[in-house]
Structure 1
Amino acid sequence: MKNLKKSILLMLAAIGFASCSSDDNGNSYTYVPTSQSFRALFDNALESRTQTATFDAETTLNYVSDNGVLLTIYGNCLRKNGNPVTGNVELEYVEIFDRASMLVTNKPTMGVENGETKLLTSGGEFYINVTQDGVQLTLDCGMMLSAPTSLTGGTDNAMLPFAGTIDQDGDLIWEQTVTVEFWIGQGQGLGSDLYNVFFSSFGWFNYDRFVNYSGPRTEISTLVPQGYGNGNSAVFMTTNDFPNSLGTTYGEFPVGMEVNFVFVTEENGLFRYAIKPVQALVPNHQVTFSLSETTLGTEAQLIAAINAL
């Protein structure tokens, strides 16, 4: 909350020197997005990454994803309003492995540890849900998810299971969960280099670990143009050392960590964005964006820009 209040104050302070109507070169910007139009970009990107399948609730589903992840939902395990489910049901499944996809879907890797928000690096973000005729189902036993570690650069033995929660602003936050069975190694006949989890609730799940740096940490203050920062834009952060990680500027971060800052907003159904090249974080780090630095582009163009970092 302290970080959020600090950022809001600086956004207000930015009104004095940054205008949404023109930039330093005289270019005019008359379009100011709404929070709804901005969020729609994220929603569209997430929808395009949602895989679906229909299966019989009384039989075991072994679903192999586009990237070779195996999801098993066991037969006769689903419940509707507490009762066993019969007939066909609908699966929704999302998998995200790279920071560009994390950014365009607004699914950063920020986790809570001892009340502090810190950066995570991911072995894969997943959304799993099953419904029948639009009614949310639950699990009476469990399901299993096995993801090849090669999808995120190889086995990291420090990985742990995290559950994700969407807050009232539509943002995702991760917390380590101990209510699942998690192991690294063999699973479901796919080989030995797998992150495996057996769990019993639908929603967001992540194989993760906190980014560990010794030494002091700092908060980050962001200054954005007038008219922005009230739910119609966001500032993300990528790191050179962790390509499967995407941060926000809310939290505490290691002094000296090399990062890129990315400002994103919406304009007429496209992304307007700016990337601040690599910077080493300093105490009380501050980053400023103006509209003259931004580029208007498609989702694919923004992804290419992030992948080039």
Structure 2
Amino acid sequence: MKKRLTYLALSVLLLVTSCTDDIDDNINLEATTSEKFYGLFQAEMTNQTQTFAFDSESGLVTFVSDNGVYLTIDGSCLRKNGQPVTGQVNLEFIEIFDRSTMLLTNKLTMGLDNGQKKLLISGGEFYINATQDNVNLTLTCEMSLAVPTALTEGTAPEMAPFIGTVDANGNILWELSPMIESWNGTLNPNSNEQSYNALLNNFGWFNYDFFMDDNLPMTEITANVPVGYGHGNSIILLATSNIPNSLGSIGGVYPIGLDCHLIFLSEQDGKFLYSIKENQTLVNNHVVNFPLSEMQLVTAAEMRTIIDALD
């Protein structure tokens, strides 16, 4: 599905910017570069990364994340350039459950369904990788992941396993992976909590998800943005009302009548440049306008607070 993004060539918007309280008079209003914009997300990815070290010859090893997720790996199944691994191994682990973290890391919940990008509701997004001497390792047997369902408002029986593919900028797209074994709502023997459980045979990005109910007619969204902002240096996000564990983009299709918030996001002087159109109800061929005069600059921490406050 080709992203529909149009541009506002309205010089009036640029002229009134210097007299608004939202943008400081001294800020350079030239549109940012792709490198600076996506650099904001990479900084937050680093902040979200948990690291563990373990001896590959210790056999079955279980790690518990900051949020109580259990990851179990058999060290004897690790391979480096096709050969069994000995000695210390470094593990990287990222867990994402809420839309503010999804925004700050650019790890949206957009899934591919019959060739169309549609919104997913997540039971947790995860990045898992093991390295030795900066060489990525592989697995010859499965590792297990147990995620408490309480982290995303309780067990949803329709949750299914998805694998994420990341492009050069860090944009992610999820696809259903029927090859992965998973169980929903079973008790985790380590914690006696209801959990989403899966057996994974590859490192990388994994997500528990299900598609938002799309029995209604669907529509695309067109965003009018100021000159200079478009593909590569900004994104338009969609936060669904009352669903905190989901975040989409206007590159997909959505149910007509959906209540949501639409968010313009870019970069300026190392901060997020943003504007939010709250309480939108989608209509057929929905159009949203983001004049530069309405935009504000915030830090990552301030952006998180703003997104968390959305209903």
Q: Structure 2 length normalisation: TM-score?
A: 0.93
Correspondence for 1:210? 211
Between stretches 153-162 and 179-188, larger displacement belongs to 179-188
Give the AA of the match of 1:33: T
Q: Distance in 1 between matches of 2:282 and 2:12?
A: 24
| 2:10–2:226 CA contact under 8 A, matched in 1 | no
Identify if the C-alpha distance between structure 1 residues 226 and 21 changes in structure 2 by more than 3 Å, giving closer, same or farther.
farther
1:86-101 matches, cutoff 5 A = 86-101=86-101
Q: Distance in 2 between matches of 1:18 and 1:169?
A: 32
Aligned-pair CA distance for 1:18: 6.5
Correspondence for 1:291? 292
Aligned-pair CA distance for 1:211: 0.2
Measured against aligned partners, the alpha-carbon deviations of 1:139-183 in whole angstroms (never above 9, x if no partner) come to: 011101101000011111110000000124431000010121100
Correspondence for 1:80? 80
Correspondence for 2:142? 142
1:11-26 matches, cutoff 5 A = 11=7, 14-16=8-10, 23=17, 25=19
Give the AA of the match of 2:230: G
Matched, 1:43 2:42: yes
Q: Distance in 1 between matches of 2:51 and 2:302?
A: 26
Correspondence for 2:179? 179
Aligned-residue CA RMSD in angstroms? Answer: 1.6
Between stretches 25-34 and 72-81, larger displacement belongs to 25-34
Correspondence for 2:240? 239
Matched, 1:104 2:98: no
Identity, % of aligned pairs? 47
Gaps of 5+ in 2: none
Query: SS at the partner of 1:304?
Result: helix
Where do 4+ consecutive residues of structure 1 move more than 6 Å? none
Aligned-pair CA distance for 1:224: 1.1
Aligned length: 303
| 2:61–2:74 CA contact under 8 A, matched in 1 | yes
| 1:18–1:225 CA contact under 8 A, matched in 2 | no
Query: SS at the partner of 1:46?
Result: helix
Q: Distance in 2 between matches of 1:129 and 1:110?
A: 22
Correspondence for 1:34? 33
Gaps of 5+ in 1: none
Query: SS at the partner of 2:9?
Result: helix
Give the AA of the match of 2:131: T
| 2:14–2:293 CA contact under 8 A, matched in 1 | no
| 1:266–1:272 CA contact under 8 A, matched in 2 | yes
Query: SS at the partner of 1:209?
Result: strand
Query: SS at the partner of 2:213?
Result: coil
Identify if the C-alpha distance between structure 1 residues 20 and 36 changes in structure 2 by more than 3 Å, giving closer, same or farther.
farther
Correspondence for 1:257? 258
Correspondence for 2:301? 300
| 2:77–2:139 CA contact under 8 A, matched in 1 | yes
1:215-234 matches, cutoff 5 A = 215-234=216-235
Q: Distance in 1 between matches of 2:119 and 2:242?
A: 12
Give the AA of the match of 2:121: T
Identify if the C-alpha distance between structure 1 residues 52 and 20 changes in structure 2 by more than 3 Å, giving closer, same or farther.
farther
